[in-house]
Amino acid sequence: MAAISREEVAHLARLSRLAVTEEELDMFAGQLDVILQAVAQVGEVAAADIPPTSHSVPLTNIFREDVVTPCLTPQEALSGAPDAEDQRFRVPRILSEDVAS
């Protein structure tokens, strides 16, 4: 049985903000099915009472002294932006027009 359907892959693509083509959906559906069936092997390991590891280094919050250090200028920070205006990143519209008006 397939681990994942073409419709589920289309849903994943939407969640992932990828405007995939129909041909890509055909290709990815088969490939993701093979990959997901293989990685599902982790389920064979008896690990009910095992704590999860998210990170190999035991982490605590790292703080630094509250001192001013040099940083990027607005010009530098915006230097790679596809579009900028008035020292800000310019983005496509977020709200539809009837909501915005």
Partner 1 sequence: MSDLTRMTAVEIAALVAGGETSAVEVTRAHLDRIAAVDDRVHAFLHVDTDGALAAARAVDERRAAGEELGPLAGVPVAVKDVLATRGVPTTVGSKILEGWRPPYDATIVQRLREAGTVMLGKTNMDEFAMGSSTEYSAYGATHNPWDLSRIPGGSGGGSAAALAAYEAPLAIGSDTGGSIRQPGAVTGTVGAKPTYGGTSRYGLVAFSSSLDTPGPCARTVLDAALLHQVIGGHDPRDSTSIPQPVPDVVAAAKLGATGDLTGVRLGIVSEFVGEGAEPGVMAAFRESVDALAKLGAEIVEVSCPTFAYALPAYYLIAPSECSSNLARFDGVRFGLRVGDDGNRSLEEVMSLTREAGFGPEVKRRIMIGTYALSSGYYDAYYGQAQKVRTLITRDFTAAFERVDALISPTTPSVAFPMGARTADPYQMYLADLFTIPTNLYGGPGISVPCGLSEGLPVGLQVMAPTMADDRMYRVAAALESAVGTFTPPAL
Chain residues that interact with partner 1, rule: CB under 8 A: 4, 8-9, 12-21, 24, 27-28, 31-32, 34-36, 38-45, 47, 50-57, 59, 62, 64, 72, 76-77, 79-83, 89, 91-94, 96
**10: CB partners within 8 A, 6+ apart:** 20, 25
Least gap, CB of 15 to partner 1 (angstroms): 5
DSSP state of 17: T
Residue 84 Cα distances to 16, 22, 71, 75, 93, angstroms: 25, 34, 19, 10, 14
Q: How far is the CB of 7 from partner 1 (least distance, A)?
A: 13
Least distance CB 43 / partner 1 (angstroms): 6
